[in-house]
Every structure is written in structure tokens, then in C-alpha cells.
């Protein structure tokens, strides 16, 4: 773990762009683990604690977590130029790659092998998302709402969005405000 005095700062927007580009290109199925390794261990731009802090902030804020984090890191070092460089590094090359894949897919999707491969990958993608959810279940134990109420809110959300297919805006604003209010009351006790 680097000492605070051993931390270094990126010298230019170009350096921020390159570092975020490199970590994005290593991130298959999510960038967070690679981001920790690059930003904390290799570049030493921040301590592990600072990284965790930024991550939780990125998670509370709406929008893509890793994009939020990149914006905050870039902004902290070089203001809005840093934020733009971090976002650009994270998105530009991966965007080209993903669009290239999409074009290739459109050319080849009528071949049964390609269609089959994508179906198999779709099933794995579903499993990856479910596994991420299950990994988070443990963190609900320390939730001030208590795990029973948390389980109920999670199940209601799953039922409303996943089974009944209600629009998300109503569910998040409605159920979300009830949950936040409940947590507020419980914390005050």
C-alpha cells in the first residue's frame, strides 16, 4: 500500500487519457477490478482508501459507476480537461471495438454458429449479472433497515421490474422514496 507521500499526480490530460484507455482495454466484463490495479497499484494516483471512497460515491450517484469515477478522478487532478480526458480514454477505443463487433455480427448473424454463440454468451451475461447481485446480498446485513425489510424491498423491485415489467421511473421513485424514508427513521432511532 503506497504511502500518501509516495503518491504521484498525472502530468497532463494526455497521460490521464492513456491510463484510462489502457485500463478500459483490459476490462472484459467490467472495468472495476482493473481500475483498482492500474490507478492504485501501478500509477499510484490514490491510496486504496481513496479509491474505495470514490467508488462508493460513484455508486450512489446515478449513471455508469466507472464513468462517474473517471470523471471525478480526472476533475480532481486537472479540472474539466482532466474529466474529459478520462472519459475519452475510457470510451473512445472500446466504443470503436464494440461497434466493429456489432457490424461484424450483423454481417454474420444468419450463420447458425454465430447466432448460437451469441445465445450462449447472452446466457452467460445473464449469469454474470445475477452473480453480481448475489455477491452484494451479504452487504445488506449491516443495512440499518434490517435484512428482512431489505429482502422485501429487493423482491418487490424484482417483481415489479422483472416480472410485471412496470416502468422503472415509477418503481425507483415510489419504492425508492419509501425505502429511503424507512432507512432515515431507523437510523434516527
- Tell which positions 46-85 bind other proteins, by CB under 8 A: 56-68, 71-72, 75, 80, 83
Q: Does 108 bind other proteins (CB under 8 A)?
A: no
Contact status: 138 vs other proteins (CB under 8 A): no
Q: Is 141 in the site for other proteins (CB under 8 A)?
A: no
Phi/psi-derived region of residue 31, left when phi > 0, alpha when psi is between -120 and 50, beta in every other case: alpha
Classify 4 as helix, strand or coil.
helix
Burial class (CB in 10 A: 0-12, 13-18, 19+), 93: middle
**94: contact with other proteins by CB under 8 A:** yes
Least CB distance from residue 154 to other proteins, whole Å? 4
Asked if 102 interacts with other proteins (CB under 8 A), we say yes
Burial 28-65 (b: 16+ CB within 10 A, else e): eeebeebbbebbbeebebbbeebbeebbeebeeeeeeb
Q: With respect to other proteins, which residue has the nearer C-beta, 6 or 22?
A: 22
86 binds other proteins, rule: CB under 8 A: no
SS3 label, residue 27: coil
135 binds other proteins per the rule CB under 8 A: yes
- Check residue 98 for interaction with other proteins (CB under 8 A): yes
Q: Considering only residues 167 through 186, tell me which ones interact with other proteins, judged by CB under 8 A.
A: 167-169, 172, 175-176, 179-184
Amino acid at each position: 500500500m503506497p504511502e500518501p507521500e509516495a503518491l504521484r499526480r498525472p502530468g497532463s490530460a494526455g497521460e490521464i487519457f492513456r491510463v484510462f484507455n489502457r485500463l478500459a482495454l483490459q476490462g472484459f466484463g467490467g472495468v472495476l477490478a482493473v481500475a483498482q490495479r492500474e490507478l492504485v497499484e501501478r500509477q499510484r494516483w490514490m491510496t486504496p482508501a481513496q479509491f474505495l471512497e470514490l467508488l462508493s460515491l460513484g455508486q450512489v450517484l446515478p449513471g455508469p459507476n466507472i464513468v462517474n469515477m473517471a470523471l471525478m478522478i480526472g476533475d480532481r487532478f486537472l479540472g474539466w480537461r482532466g474529466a474529459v480526458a478520462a472519459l475519452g480514454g475510457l470510451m473512445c477505443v472500446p466504443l470503436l471495438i464494440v461497434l466493429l463487433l456489432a457490424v461484424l455480427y450483423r454481417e454474420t448473424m444468419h450463420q447458425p454458429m454465430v447466432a448460437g454463440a451469441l445465445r450462449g454468451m447472452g446466457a452467460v451475461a445473464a449469469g454474470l449479472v445475477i452473480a453480481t447481485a448475489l455477491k452484494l446480498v451479504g452487504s445488506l446485513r449491516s443495512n440499518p433497515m434490517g435484512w428482512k425489510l431489505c429482502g422485501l424491498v429487493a423482491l418487490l423491485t424484482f417483481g415489479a421490474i422483472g416480472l410485471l415489467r412496470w416502468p422503472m421511473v415509477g418503481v425507483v421513485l415510489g419504492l425508492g422514496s419509501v425505502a429511503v424514508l424507512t432507512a432515515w427513521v431507523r437510523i434516527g432511532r
